[in-house]
Structure formats: C-alpha cells, structure tokens
Chains A and B, each alone.
Chain A
Amino acid sequence: MSSTFFKTIGIRLWTSALVLVGVSILIFCIARVIPGDPARIALGPNATQEQVELLRERLHLNESLPVQYFEFVRELFQGDLGMSLYTNRPVTTDIGDFLPATLELVVFAGILMVVVGIPLGVLAARYRDKLTDNVVRLLSLLGVVTPTFVWAVFLMLIFAFYLEILPVAGRLSQGVDPPPGVTGFYTIDALLAGQWSTFGDAFSHIILPATALALTGIGQTARLTRASVAETYDKPYVEMAQAYGFSDRRIASKYALRPAMIPSLTIMGLDFAAMLGGAFLVEAVFAWPGLARYGVETILHKDLNGIVGTVLVISAFFLIVNMLVDIAVAWLNPRIRLQKRWAG
C-alpha cells in the first residue's frame, strides 16, 4: 500500500470524527424537538407534576440547549452517555448488552448477502437473457420490493409455524445458557468455548432473522452484480480470455467479477451498514434483543440519552463500514493500489 493510501485513510478518520460531532449536535437537537416531555413519559401517566419537575431538574432539561450539550459532551468524555429513561440503566450498559446481538445478526445477514447475492448475479450475467437470468432477475426483484417485515413474518409462518423446524424467538432456547462472553456473538463464543450444542442452538436461532434481514440485500446485490458483470463480459479482455479457451469459472471469477465488484462494493457496503438501523422490524418479529429495537423504543419513549447514544453508535458503524469499503475498493482497483508505483 502506498503512503498516499495511508494518508487518505488518516484524512478519512479525521473527517469521520468531524461527522460524528456533527451528528451528535444534530441528533441532540432533533431529539429535543420530538413532541412530549421526556420526564413525563419516563415517569408514566400517574406521576404528579411535582415529580416531573424534579426529574426535569435532575436531567438538566430546564437548561438551555448549549448548556445541555456541554453537559452531554463533558460526560461523554468520561465514557458516560447518561442514564436511559427507557430502561433506567446507563446507556453504555444498554448498548453493551444490545449491540453484540444486532452486530451478530447484521454480520450473518451480510455474509448471506455476499455469498448468495454475488453468485446469483454472476450466474445471471453468465446466462444473460436466458431462463436462469430471468429466474434470478425475478427473484432479485422480489427480494428488493418485498418489505423486510413481510419476509420476517412469511419465513416465520413457513419454517416456525407450519414446518416447525426452526425456532421462533430469541437468541437461544429456553434452558440453554449463553456461552462465556468473548465477542458477544453467541455463535462465535460457543465455538470458542467448544460448546457445540450451544452453537447449534444459537445458529438455528439466527437463521430466520438473518435471512429475513438479508433478502432485500441479496436481491440488490444480485441485480447490481449482474449488471456490472454483464457489462464486463462485453469487454475485449474477456472476449480474449474466451478466445484463449479459459474455463467459464476462471473467466467469471478472475476476469469478469473482480473489476465488476468495484462499483457494487460501495453499494453493498451501504446496504450492509443500513441493516444495523433497519433491523428493527426483524428484531421485533423474532424477539431478537438487539440495538435496533432498543433505538426505536428510545425514540418512542423520548429517551434523550438513549436516542443520542444509539444514533452515535449506528453512525460510527456507518463510518467504519464506509472506510472498510474504501479500503476494499482501493485493494480491488489497481489504479489506486499501484498509485505510488506508477508515480515512481
């Protein structure tokens, strides 16, 4: 990698930090514009006005916005995101509890998106305008246009209600203890601990929600990959490879797919990052105790600290994924990867 490359990454890190500050100010203000008194909502409908006033005082809600933001930043630098009015626990504890569940779900969905979506796209491009292509295009379209929650309910109906071959809710079955926490991903932690039955249980629990979450991304990825690969198949170097008599698989993976992946990767990265925020409905249907569900509940309960904490985490995730995508694109694109050598 060139020094230009590392310099670019450094700049991206710096701008990402600025973006996070901007997001924190924006969400801090927006959260306070949502109708309703957070203290009143937190204390419940039977609380007296006096109780509400006491809590408002304690939360600095009677101070001006800049003062409130200053307090927030001061506590943030001490690693404190404040107390959640929704769960009555520190927001950092909530995020620590719920983030791994959502990350595990999103990572599994992301893997499905890549390992199913890309091959489907390549297959469709290879057999362009034939039956295979038409079937893949139809399925992809179905994946893209069907809302995630419909997939969730549909999958539950088939595999949990009628066939009863997969579990319905949660991360583990009743009576199965979580594996010792290392990563917070139950599947990985179970493997690390050598607990095979726990792994099987955790894996079976994640299949339906991850599939429901991934189906839109799979459709999108297949369509993008098909379009890019189909375009690449028309390039002279692919025709040359075909003329040399290289195998279909070699042409597809080495000559067609790799350059075609560059435009697809950016979109896939965004889709992947968007899953973190968009997992709410899937988490709700499958009772998955994740951060997306927590985030939506904090908005409904006008839990100011919870909203800001969740949005900051999701924003950071977006920025990290974007940066990783940039690195991957740079690695795939020789014009970027070999920039220094060219310059030299």
Chain B
Amino acid sequence: MRTLKHTVSAAALAAAIATVPLAADAQSVLRLDEVAVGELDPAKATDFADTMLMFNAYDTLLLPAQGTGGLVPHLASDYSVDGNDFTFTLRDDVTFESGNPLTADDVVYSYDRLIALGQGFSHLFRDHVASVEAVDDNTVRFTLNAPYAPFLAALTRLQIVDSQTAMANELEGDYGERGDYAQAYLSANSAGTGAYTVTDHNPQELTLLARNDDYFIDIPEGAPDEVRLVYGLEGATVRTLMSRGEHDISSQWLAPEIIRALADRDDMHLFTESGTGGFYIKMNTQRAPLDDVHCRRALAHALDYDSVIALIQITDEVAQGVPANGPLPAGMLGANPDLPVPTRDMAAAQAELAQCAYDPGDQTIEISWIAEVPLEERFALLMQANFQELGFDTEVVRVPWALFTERVTQVDTTPHIGQVYVRATTPDPDALIYNMYHSDVAGTWQSTEWLNDPEVDALLEAGRSTIDQDERAQIYRDLGARLVELQPTIYAFDTQSVYVARGAVEAETLMGDGSNSYSLDGANFMFRHMDVQ
C-alpha cells in the first residue's frame, strides 16, 4: 500500500508541476493539425498537409491570383509566351533560407529533380515539357512538346529548391552524379525561399515552422512567429485541446457533430475553403443497366439532393458542400452557370425509366462506399432508399480504398456506383476533369464511369490545346452541358472544406466571401495571411 500511496503522491506532484504556467512566450504561435503524414520533399508532396508545407516553406514561379482566378507572377517578375516557349524572368530580390540568391539554375534543378524522382506532381509536366534551360542567371525557359494550356497552372506545383544546398547534401544513390538527389536531406529539412522555414520535422508527429523575416514580401505583424502543425489528432483530442485554448485551427476531417459542437462556442468561428472540387457519384456506364443513359438519368432525378446537403450541414449557414450543377465547381474557369441545379423529381425519373431498355427489377445495382469515409455509408443508404422507389434492387457494399482502387481497373469489377471526392490539383479545370472523363484514362479511381464519348474526348483535348482563356472557358461550358446530358455522374455537391478556428485567429484567405481566397486547396493556409495577435 505504501508503494501505491507514493505513486499517487508522485502523480499529484507531477500534475501540480505541469499545471504551473510556463514562462510567457513572447513568440506568437499558431497550432493546427492535419492527417499524417506531412511530406516535406517538394518532389514527393501531394496531400493536403504536404501542400500546406509547400506553400509556406517554398515558393513557385506563379501563384493562383487571390479571389479573381487566373495566375499571377510570384518568384517570376514577368513571363512571356512564344509558341511553345515560356520564358520567365526571376525576381532579383529573393534569397533562400540559406542566404543563397535565387537563380535560374535552381528552377532547372528543381524541375529535373521532380522528373527524375517521378513522384509528386511530376505527371503534370512529364509528357508535356520538352526541355527546361537557364538562359541566364535570372531567366529560365520551358519548351513544351505541343500547346498545353494547363501548363502555367501546373507551375503552381513546381516548388523551387535551393540547388546549392540540395547538392551539398546529396548522398549516394540511384541517380548517377546526383546520388540520392538529396532525398534524405529534403525529407527532413526545408531548402526554399518560403515565408516560413522548417525548424523540426517528424512526418507522423509534428512539423515546426518559424517565420522567415528575410522573406521577399513583407509579412504582416500579426502573422504567427511559429507554427506547430500536428499530425493525426483524433476528433475527441482536437475538441478537448480547442476547448482548453491549446489548439487554434482544426483539420477539415473532423466529424460534423464535433465541428458543430465547437462552432456553438462563442470563442470559436468557422473557416471555409471552396471552389476546387466536388463530391461525385459515379456510375459505371459500361455495365447494365447503367449503360443506358435513361437509367442513369432516372437515378439522377430520383436522388434526394436536399437530404444529401442535410447530411453535411454544420450550422444553419455553413455546410461541407453547396449544391452543384455540373462537373466543375462554381467559380472555376469554365463552370457553366446556365446549367440547372438538379433537384429530386420523381415524375421526371419515372419518365426516364420508361425509356430505359432495362426492367429495373432485373438488375441489382451495387452501391459502393469507401470504408475509410463513414459519411459515404449514409449517402449510400440514402441512394438505396431513393433508387428502390424506382423499383431497382440495390446492394450497399463497403469497399476499403485500397480494394476500390484495384476493382476499378477492370470494367466488370467496377461497382455500378462509386462515390469519390475529387479536388483539382492545380487551379485549372483540366486538372479536375480530364482524368475523369477522357476515354484514354478510364479505369482509375477518378474515372470509374468508363465513359467513352468522342465528343467529350474532343472537348477535353480542345481544352488542353486552346491557349486563349475565353475560348477555353466556352469549351468547358460546352463540356459541362454535354456531361450533364450524358449523366455518367450524379453531381451531388461542390465541396466546401470547413475548419474550426479560435476566435482570436483570423485568415483572410479562409474567411468572408472568398475575394481573398486562392483557388487551390491548401494554398489558403499560407500562414503569412493569418493573424494570431
């Protein structure tokens, strides 16, 4: 018993020590969380946490323009286009965190490294860029194989690495004279020009970033001095931390009820990020009965869209999505405002069903949901109830993501209905829908429709090769109309990411009417735009 008594006493003592406030820290700190892991290497980064790190520790030649759409020069002071040649003049006031000045060689090294490693966003460039050369210290030229309109937007994913620092830290490896291409170093350290530098990084636990006061753009006083990006916090943990004032911004992956509970507090408010993607209910257009367009349209009319939105409603004003009217989210280049927002219309559904070649009772429709996304089960059950009203037999199937990605590689094993969230990887419509609908890329998680329509293919290719942005916008509007007519997909809602933030934290890119937002997920988490004072 004495041992027990001592243990309890020691625990109480330790608790007492721990509750003594630490010395006041003059530094302002921003604390937020994301799903593990945080990938720090710019040639490998793809996920949301990675994107947050990239847009803070590194910079790109161009950035999405805030609010207006389009692109603006960033590390480049100017650029020109001559046929397939894109020439960029670099700013002369930019230095890396090492103190090295930014040069055209850094751009060439960063590009070569991305392509050599073959990971991350290398697919945005690999088949389209013929060469990249440093014309002089401050000028770099990209030469494309053929006209490729999404190229400029793709440059928002080419983070520029300090080549001298990287080369000084190359270890032995598989890349000839480049050794390991500094993979070991850049997975643990930043070597960019960003507004923040990484001071400590553990990909499963925590990344610490410190403000870079030598940044080439003035950072407002209110921006945090230090940022603690924590990975893999559970919902209950985030709720407790935020309630205690020990956490500033939640991730977007919190359950709606937790977001709602936190949002009800007076000392919290919500951040939102939208316009980059949607929630798509994808129908396999090659399997009966969904190979008949009338059956597909019947299902689209039968879905209760109001209930779908109700499932993602957070507060009376904010939901994790807004009604969609087509493949492109509102605000994106080529989004077609003339398309009607679909609503549940059972009469129209019955009329389409009457034209369908199949008897609904003859086929069982497999409605899959991704095991890792429990909310999708609710959507699946809603669809089951809605579609059964038309007489369809349905089967709701839980599919782990890994299995889903395997099943969709064959048309016969692709479920009749799959549900996926898709977000554009660059601020360009091509990045969102080419990989969904072009017949050449069918059979991936994004293209479970297996759509094979020459008109759609032609429009997608025209969208890539047409440089004039107004013409492109019209092409994508036509494409949207064609896709709604073919109905390979039910456009359930445009996604809106919702975050809970402490009232004291403000972020111009995540608040208000979107007039200061970047049209790229994650880019809105540039900490220099935040105010934690």
Cα of A161 to Cα of B401 in the assembled complex, Å: 34
Cα of A334 to Cα of B356 in the assembled complex, Å: 84
Q: Which of A146-191 contact B (CB under 8 A)?
A: 153, 156-157, 160-161, 164-170, 173-176
Does any Cβ of B come within 8 Å of A134's Cβ? no
Shortest Cβ distance from A116 into B: residue = B4
Taking residues whose C-beta sits less than 8 angstroms from the other chain, chain A's interface range is: 35 or more
Cα of A200 to Cα of B187 in the assembled complex, Å: 33
Shortest Cβ distance from A176 into B: residue = B22
Residues of B close to A51: CB separation below 8 A: 118-119, 122-123
Determine whether the beta carbon of A297 is less than 8 Å from that of B17.
Answer: no
Residues of B close to A153: CB separation below 8 A: 236
Stretch at the interface among A36-44, A61-69, A137-145: A36-44
Q: Which of A36-78 contact B (CB under 8 A)?
A: 36-37, 40-41, 43-48, 50-51, 54-55, 58
Known contacts: A167-B18, A297-B36. The answer to whether A41 contacts B402 by CB under 8 A is: yes
Q: Which of A234-282 contact B (CB under 8 A)?
A: none
How many cross-chain pairs have Cβ atoms below 8 Å apart between A and B?
158
Stretch at the interface among A8-16, A22-30, A203-211, A309-317: A203-211
Count contacts on B: residues with CB < 8 A to the other chain: 62
Determine whether the beta carbon of A164 is less than 8 Å from that of B244.
Answer: yes
Stretch at the interface among A83-91, A225-233, A321-329: A83-91
- Of the residues A43, A87, A204, contact of B119 by C-beta under 8 Å: A43
- A125 nearest CB across to chain B (Å): 15
- A290 nearest CB across to chain B (Å): 9
Determine whether the beta carbon of A173 is less than 8 Å from that of B22.
Answer: yes
Does any Cβ of B come within 8 Å of A287's Cβ? yes
- Of the residues B19, B31, B37, contact of A165 by C-beta under 8 Å: B19
- A48 nearest CB across to chain B (Å): 4
Known contacts: A115-B3, A115-B4, A167-B18. The answer to whether A88 contacts B44 by CB under 8 A is: yes
Residues of A close to B241: CB separation below 8 A: 168-169
Residues of A close to B36: CB separation below 8 A: 297
- A98 nearest CB across to chain B (Å): 7
Residues of A close to B39: CB separation below 8 A: 88
Shortest Cβ distance from B39 into A: residue = A88
Determine whether the beta carbon of A87 is less than 8 Å from that of B204.
Answer: yes
Cα of A286 to Cα of B232 in the assembled complex, Å: 10
Does any Cβ of B come within 8 Å of A320's Cβ? no
Cα of A329 to Cα of B244 in the assembled complex, Å: 47
Known contacts: A87-B203, A287-B233. The answer to whether A45 contacts B243 by CB under 8 A is: no
Residues of B close to A112: CB separation below 8 A: 7
Contact with A along B1-22 (1 / 0, CB 8 A): 1011001001101111111001
Determine whether the beta carbon of A203 is less than 8 Å from that of B22.
Answer: no
- A47 nearest CB across to chain B (Å): 6
Residues of A close to B352: CB separation below 8 A: none
Known contacts: A203-B14, A207-B15. The answer to whether A168 contacts B202 by CB under 8 A is: no
Cα of A284 to Cα of B406 in the assembled complex, Å: 28
Residues of B close to A284: CB separation below 8 A: 232, 234
Determine whether the beta carbon of A201 is less than 8 Å from that of B236.
Answer: no
Cα of A187 to Cα of B14 in the assembled complex, Å: 11
- Of the residues B3, B37, B46, B203, contact of A46 by C-beta under 8 Å: B46
- A178 nearest CB across to chain B (Å): 10
Determine whether the beta carbon of A287 is less than 8 Å from that of B15.
Answer: no
Cα of A48 to Cα of B237 in the assembled complex, Å: 36
- A278 nearest CB across to chain B (Å): 17
Does any Cβ of A come within 8 Å of B445's Cβ? yes
Shortest Cβ distance from A35 into B: residue = B403
Determine whether the beta carbon of A55 is less than 8 Å from that of B236.
Answer: no
Residues of B close to A50: CB separation below 8 A: 118, 123, 126
Known contacts: A156-B240, A168-B240. The answer to whether A174 contacts B15 by CB under 8 A is: no
Q: Which of B175-230 contact A (CB under 8 A)?
A: 183, 187-188, 202-206, 228, 230
Q: Which of B256-304 contact A (CB under 8 A)?
A: none
Residues of B close to A173: CB separation below 8 A: 18, 22
Residues of A close to B374: CB separation below 8 A: none
Shortest Cβ distance from A112 into B: residue = B7
Cα of A167 to Cα of B206 in the assembled complex, Å: 17
- Identify 17 residue pairs between A and B in the complex whose beta-carbon atoms are under 8 Å apart, listed by A's number: A34-B402, A35-B402, A35-B403, A41-B405, A50-B126, A89-B187, A112-B7, A119-B4, A166-B15, A168-B240, A168-B241, A169-B237, A197-B17, A200-B17, A287-B234, A289-B205, A302-B402
Kindly list the 6 A-B residue pairs having the minimum CB-CB distance in the complex, ordered from nearest.
A36-B402, A200-B17, A204-B18, A203-B14, A289-B205, A44-B46
Can you name 10 extra interface pairs (CB under 8 A) apart from A87-B204, A88-B183?
A47-B119, A97-B202, A161-B244, A166-B18, A168-B240, A168-B241, A173-B22, A174-B29, A200-B16, A289-B205
